[in-house]
Amino acid sequence: MTYTEGAAYWKALPESEKQRFYNIAAKESSDHTAFEWFMHLVPDELKDDPDKMAVFMDGGTVVTEEVLYDQGRAGATTQQVEHELPDRDVSRIESGHNGGDYTTENTIMEDASINRSRGAEDMSPEELTTAQADNASSVELLEQGEVLTPGTSVLEAAEPSLAEEILGGALEAVVPAIFAVKAAQVVANEFDTVEDKLGYGALSAGGTVLLFVNPVTGPIAWTCAGLYSAFKLGKVVLKVGDTLAKA
């Protein structure tokens, strides 16, 4: 990220969030400005989002969607998953007790419980790698999900996805039923007696539904249904256009 981009995000940052970096810059062994600490400690992906930045640094709950593909169904459903991110400290790689300075080159954001349990020891190469991986994982979750603020339920955070799921479920039920009725009508018209019309019509309706829910034929059936619907819509549009042209 360029200096200009970072400066723009810093300028837009609420004063309450800037204060944490002023506090870091005020430490006795720090020779960096608050802005420099902001550029160093906050991942580039989060610099433009104060809420997600705060959760990355202070901990909190992130809600993501996990897509579930059900065999035999034309679509997929989503499941809301909560992830708890830890409070993080500005952790020194070389301990201050061993002469490590409080600089951007010697610090990294790290799970506060791990940092504090280490005490006066230096961070091992393995611990540094773990901290880097944990930070990257948290950034990925924050990019993909939504921050669950206090007082907000998972259901509220997932409302758009829930609505999509409900709509998708309704379509999966209604579309096969519509085409089953059409198939029953076509087949029934080929017979003369009421018994044959009802019997063979019911068989064709049931067979049509099975085509939609079968894992092998389902995708083909849904594709054909989509093409048929597009064709019917096209005919309606052409008819409306012709009517308007004559008017």
For each of the chain's 247 residues, which pLDDT tens digit applies?
A: 898 999 999 999 999 999 999 999 998 778 899 999 999 999 999 999 999 999 999 999 999 988 776 665 556 777 889 999 999 999 999 998 888 999 999 999 999 999 999 999 999 999 999 999 999 999 999 999 999 876 555 555 545 544 444 445 544 555 566 655 655 565 556 666 656 556 665 665 566 656 655 665 656 755 665 555 544 544 544 454 555 555 5
pLDDT of residue 96: 87
Where do the domains of the chain lie?
A: 3-154, 160-246
* pTM, 2 dp: 0.60
- How would DSSP label each residue in 131-147? HHHHHHHHHHHHHHSEE
Distances (CA, A) of 140 to 89, 105, 146: 19, 23, 11
Query: Burial, 130: exposed, middle or buried (Cβ in 10 Å; 0-12, 13-18, 19+)?
Result: middle
pLDDT of residue 98: 87
Alpha helices, DSSP H only, in 189-247?
194-213, 218-246
Alpha helices, DSSP H only, in the chain?
3-12, 15-25, 34-41, 50-58, 112-118, 125-144, 154-157, 159-188, 194-213, 218-246
Q: Cβ neighbours of residue 194 under 8 Å, at least 6 residues apart? A: none
pLDDT of residue 66: 82
Pairing of strands 60-69, 146-148: antiparallel
The residue type of 94 is E
pLDDT of residue 240: 43
Q: Tokens 């990294």 belong to which residue?
A: 108
Are 214 and 72 within 8 A, CB to CB? yes
Helix (H, G, I), strand (E, B) or coil at 91: strand
pLDDT of residue 149: 72
Q: Which pairs from 117-125 meet CB under 8 Å and 24+ separation? A: 120/95, 120/96, 121/95, 122/93, 122/94, 122/95, 122/98, 123/91, 123/92, 123/93, 123/94, 123/95
What is the C-alpha to C-alpha distance for residues 75 and 118, in angstroms, rounded to an integer?
49
